[in-house]
């Protein structure tokens, strides 16, 4: 932060190329298939057909809108449709064998495009590379390539929901992925909405999705913990993004309970539960709360007021605020108001950490470079310190951060 302004880094933003603009980033052998696919593809997302869709790829517009919103840097997750995908890659099911080669080509095209997009704003974008889990060696090669190409946001860990056809995330199959991320010191990101199984088209499907989607995203945490990934790769860092943060203390307590219970049971061979904890102490090494302390972070996105009092239990050094630009549920163009709702009255060093300092440390942003930008565009410390009266909530704000009654929710 500067003397009187915060340096705000959004740890949760989204971008992607317009559909046809991915073609130059594809290997030429896929061009004919791409032309045939693109000619008949119908985009299922209204926001990607609207006149505001170019916020995903128009670098100048994006920089201007983020600066107007008080934000000087961003972590960039995917948003638009990569080649050969039926829907956004965050939501698309794991590919079948027949789809696999083309889907990989599509993700590589996105990663190449994203490297150029980040180069258009040096020091201000940390691009998150995409991989598939079907071929671990191929994933490792892509991780090395994208890191060398300048994508500093690490990787987006795909979900492995039931029925996906790939091993569960606790499997040692993925050790080469954890190893290369630890070696290169890039975070493994797991984004909300990316791990739910297909739910069909029944009328209740959307409601069930809302109830279950964050739980399916949370699963990556206990899969990697109980699978021992952090013991075998102590430098591995996991970031859970846009999944809320209020759930974390309770879930860590629950995981500690099961860990202690199962480890204790394993020492008593006569108990019915002993087999469930066999080998767990050796494979995990540390307890879940210790793993959280040493290896895990939360991209808390538009943090709600009820989550803020839990910051010490979550870990003040773990929390990274995000605007979710350009999504409708994001705080733009009212991120200053969103920050006031969440952080008014807190010590300025705590706000500075959650609003930008932690993200700079996790994703490698240079605060010495960003602070002069924030001196012009960042929100005033005095402004964020003032609580936002309900009457001052912008009537056209669409983010859940502004929803009444949100303070009683804990997930």
Q: What is the pLDDT of residues 166-221, one digit of tens each?
A: 999 999 999 999 999 999 999 999 999 888 888 888 889 989 988 998 999 999 99
Give the mean pLDDT of 96-108: 92
Domain ranges of the chain: 8-408
Q: Is the pTM of this model over 0.85?
A: yes
What percent of the chain lies above the pLDDT cut of 70? 98
The predicted pLDDT at position 405 comes to: 55
Predicted confidence (pLDDT) at residue 410 exceeds the cutoff of 70: no
What band does 22 get if pLDDT is binned at 50, 70 and 90?
Answer: very high
Q: Extract the tokens encoding 226.
A: 């109980």
Whole-angstrom distance, CA of residue 409 vs CA of residue 411: 6
Question: With contact defined as beta carbons under 8 Å apart, do 364 and 411 qualify?
Answer: no
Span 343-357, average pLDDT: 98
pLDDT tens, position by position, 36-49 = 999 999 998 888 98
pLDDT tens-digit readout, 119-155: 999 999 999 999 999 999 999 999 999 999 999 999 9
Model confidence over 245-283: pLDDT tens digits? 999 999 999 999 999 999 999 888 778 888 888 888 888
DSSP letters spanning 309-346: GGHHHH-TTTEEE---TTSTTS-TT-HHHHHHHHHTTS
Whether the ω angle into residue 141 lies within 30 degrees of 0, i.e. cis, is no
Per-residue confidence band for 395, with pLDDT thresholds at 50, 70 and 90? very high
Decide if domain 8-408 falls under CATH 3.20.20.140: yes
Residue 408 has pLDDT above 50, yes or no: no
Q: Calculate the average pLDDT of the chain.
A: 94
Token pair for 259: 């860990």
pLDDT digits (tens, 9 = 90+) for 312-338: 999 999 999 999 999 999 999 999 999
Residues in the chain: 411
pLDDT tens digits, 370-385: 999 999 999 999 999 9
Does 285 score more than 60 pLDDT? yes
């Amino acid at each position: 932060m500067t003397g009187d302004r915060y340096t705000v880094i959004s740890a949760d933003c989204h971008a992607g190329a317009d559909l046809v603009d991915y073609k130059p980033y594809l290997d030429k052998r896929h061009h004919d298939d791409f032309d045939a696919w693109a000619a008949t593809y119908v985009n299922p997302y209204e926001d990607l057909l609207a006149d505001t869709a170019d916020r995903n790829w128009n670098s100048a517009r994006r920089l201007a809108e983020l600066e107007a919103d008080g934000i000087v840097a961003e972590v960039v997750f995917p948003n638009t449709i990569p080649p050969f995908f039926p829907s956004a890659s965050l939501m698309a099911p794991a590919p079948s064998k027949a789809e696999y080669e083309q889907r990989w080509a599509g993700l590589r095209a996105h990663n190449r495009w994203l490297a150029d997009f980040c180069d258009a704003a040096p020091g201000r974008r940390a691009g998150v590379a995409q991989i598939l889990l079907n071929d671990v060696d191929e994933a490792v090669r892509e991780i090395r390539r994208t890191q060398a190409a300048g994508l500093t946001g690490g990787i987006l860990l795909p979900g492995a929901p039931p029925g996906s056809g790939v091993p569960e995330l606790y499997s040692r199959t993925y050790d080469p992925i954890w190893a290369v991320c630890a070696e290169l010191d890039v975070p493994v990101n797991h984004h909300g909405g990316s791990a739910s199984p297909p739910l069909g088209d029944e009328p209740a499907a959307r409601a069930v999705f809302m109830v279950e989607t964050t739980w399916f995203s949370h699963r990556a945490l206990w899969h990697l913990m109980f699978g021992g990934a952090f013991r075998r790769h102590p430098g591995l860092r996991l970031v859970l993004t846009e999944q809320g943060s209020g759930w974390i203390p309770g879930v860590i307590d629950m995981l500690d309970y099961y860990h202690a219970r199962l480890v204790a049971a394993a020492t008593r061979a006569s108990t019915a539960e002993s087999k469930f904890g066999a080998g767990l102490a050796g494979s995990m090494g540390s307890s879940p709360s210790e793993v959280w302390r040493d290896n895990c972070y939360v991209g808390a996105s538009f943090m709600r007021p009820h989550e803020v009092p839990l910051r010490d239990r979550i870990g003040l050094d773990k929390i990274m605020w995000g605007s979710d630009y350009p999504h409708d549920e994001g705080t733009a163009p009212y991120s200053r108001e969103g920050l006031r709702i969440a952080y008014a009255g807190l010590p300025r060093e705590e706000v500075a950490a959650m609003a930008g300092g932690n993200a700079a440390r996790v994703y490698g942003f240079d605060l010495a470079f960003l602070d002069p930008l924030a001196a012009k565009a960042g929100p005033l410390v005095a402004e964020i310190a003032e609580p936002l009266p309900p009457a001052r909530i912008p009537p056209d704000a669409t983010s859940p951060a502004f929803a009444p009654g949100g303070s009683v929710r804990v997930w």
